[in-house]
Amino acid sequence: MGGFAIGTTEFASMSLLPFFAADLHIDEPTAGYAISAYALGVVLGAPLIAVLGAKFARRTQLLALMAVFAIGNALTALAPGFGSMVAARFLSGLPHGAYFGIAALVAASLVPQHRRSQAVGQVMLGLTVATIIGVPLANLIGQMVGWRASFGLVSLLALLTVLLCALFAPRDQAGRSNPLRELGALRSRRVWTTLAISAIGFGGMFAVYTYLATTLIEVTKVSTGVIPFFLAIFGIGATLGNLFVPPFADRALMPTAGGILIFAAVALLVFPLVAGNPWLLAIDIFAIGASVALGAILQTRLMDVAGDAQALAAALNHSAFNTANALGPFLGGLAIRQGLGWTSTGPVGAALAVLGFLIWIVAYRDTGPALAEHASSGDAAPREAAPLKQAPPLAPRERSRSRDPVA
């Protein structure tokens, strides 16, 4: 539910861009700054919260983060002008990365080593299901009632998440890490190259998705009522990608990541060629959505290379993801401003995916023998990773309640 709330606000704000731009009397490239403000909040908030929250129980952090998220989206719905909306979007983004990072660590700690990518992918299902249901619904509400109602809905979903975490999240002990140990992740070259893949390679998807609604209206010539259908197609691709790609990553982690980057580059390069045909465009949007599976794979890679700084590394993945969320719309908007047309976001996105692949080559060559063996065989992670070592055990009451023998 937390992922569903976060995914709804992150992607719905892009699909609602034409509507709040018109209401606030600004042009759409300028309205894109609200998207970038949210992404900047994620980029700054994820590592800061991960470091400061190292001493707190993960369950406590999940509750606090979703409460702040609910407040940020409520303030967005009530924003009197564009400036206050940008500030509210920044606040909404602060808990995003830390929430996903902590949730991924909890999930990974409850399954065998060879199923970590699948567990993280299932955590991310909330986000991808949001692109099927939440985003089209928010877009429809935005058209019928107003864009403010969509952000109000997200705030209610966040409050529901707080309640569900209080009722069902496993109780754990206070964190055994410390800020200095978490900051140790920043000394690892492998951590930085993995984050760079996410920050650059994901930018292509965001470059296209941010301006997809306007492209559909201006180029594909569809009615606004059809936009939720295309948004749902993207979400179906993202959900199926997160369901079916991670098992391959559990067998060959880095090769799977490289394959997704090439796949995304091709899909993005095709985008301008099919934008005029709604049926071909739907297929291409589905393919672009499937590339979202890269996030769960890179999250697992960070677990392998982060050593003792598991919480910070997990959160930094979402900082990198939302660096892409800021970079993609910025470069796509720049191309549009230069008069290259709405479909120019496709080649811009393809260039970012290719650049991400070039960084992937560096990261793959830097994979040590132990990590390479783990990536290809699915055996237990090397000592450098020790991802399960950092996960606090479940309390006895919770362990006895679980049906999972591993838990």
Write out pLDDT tens, residues 257-316: 999 999 999 999 999 999 999 999 999 999 999 998 888 888 888 877 877 677 777 777
pLDDT in tens, 10-40: 878 877 888 888 888 888 778 878 888 887 8
- Two structure tokens written together for 140: 């429809």
| Among 33, 66, 37, 34, residue whose Cα is nearest residue 49 | 66
Q: Which portions of the chain are predicted below pLDDT 50? A: 369-370, 372-407
Task: Provide the pLDDT for residue 348.
Answer: 94
Q: Which of the 8 DSSP states describes residue 34?
A: H
Distance CA 187, CA 199 (A): 18
Task: Provide the pLDDT for residue 185.
Answer: 62
Distance CA 388, CA 111 (A): 9
Q: Identify whether the C-beta of residue 304 lies closer than 8 Å to the C-beta of residue 385.
A: yes
pTM of full prediction above 0.95: no
Task: Provide the pLDDT for residue 296.
Answer: 80
Q: Report the CATH number of the 2-382 domain.
A: 1.20.1250.20
pLDDT in tens, 71-92: 999 999 999 888 899 999 999 9
Domain boundaries, the chain: 2-382
Task: Provide the pLDDT for residue 285.
Answer: 94
